[in-house]
Homo-oligomer: A and B are copies of this chain.
Amino acid sequence: MQTLNLTPPRKAVLQVIQVATDHPTATEIMDRLNQQGQRFAYASIYNSLRYLAEHGMIQELNLGNGVTRYDGRLAEHQHLICRRCGAVMESTAAVPLDFIAGIEKETGFRVEQSDVRFVGLCPTCWAELAAHRVRPG
């Protein structure tokens, strides 16, 4: 299982994720495929998602709410989730290496992958709250 076997459902699922500007769920991927006239079984969607994730083509995200979301961006990036409107923004800032090194030294754990989620207020919601009170909280 060395080479990538991009069967039709896998290719279709991958294309939806790569074209998306958000982080679609399995259901949303299904919907978008249907809108394109492509029809697959849920089992095939999930099979494809697992396959693509295992082969490093996409990333699984747990942004909360118990639904798995998918991301076609492979380079390291962090997710910023607005607690007010739910918008998800991204930052390309890398997790500081000395932060990781310190944790490895402290715990003996070997960090391979970082998954950082910041919750707070997006610029829009921040501005809207600021318009109502002096100290948005």
Judge whether B96 and A99 touch: CB under 8 Å: yes
* A82, B110: Cα distance in complex, Å: 9
* A64, B68: Cα distance in complex, Å: 9
A111 within 8 A of B: yes
This chain's copy number in the assembly:
2
Judge whether B120 and A113 touch: CB under 8 Å: yes
Judge whether A103 and B115 touch: CB under 8 Å: no
Tell me whether A93 and B89 are in contact in the complex, defined as CB-CB below 8 angstroms, given that A110-B120, A110-B121, A118-B113 are known contacts: no
Q: Name the one of B68, B91, B119 contacting A103, with C-beta atoms under 8 angstroms.
A: B91
Interface size range on A against B: 35 or more
Tell me whether A80 and B109 are in contact in the complex, defined as CB-CB below 8 angstroms, given that A96-B96, A103-B91, A114-B116 are known contacts: yes
Which chain B residues lie closer than 8 Å to A110 at the CB level? 120-123, 126
Tell me whether A118 and B114 are in contact in the complex, defined as CB-CB below 8 angstroms, given that A64-B62, A91-B103, A93-B102 are known contacts: yes
> A26-54 toward B: CB 8 Å interface, digit per residue (1/0)?
00000000000000000000000000000
Which chain B residues lie closer than 8 Å to A107 at the CB level? 80, 89, 91, 123
Q: Using A66-B66, A99-B99, A113-B119 as known contacts, list a sample of 5 further A-B pairs with CB atoms less than 8 Å apart, ordered by residue number in A.
A: A80-B107, A91-B106, A110-B122, A114-B116, A114-B117
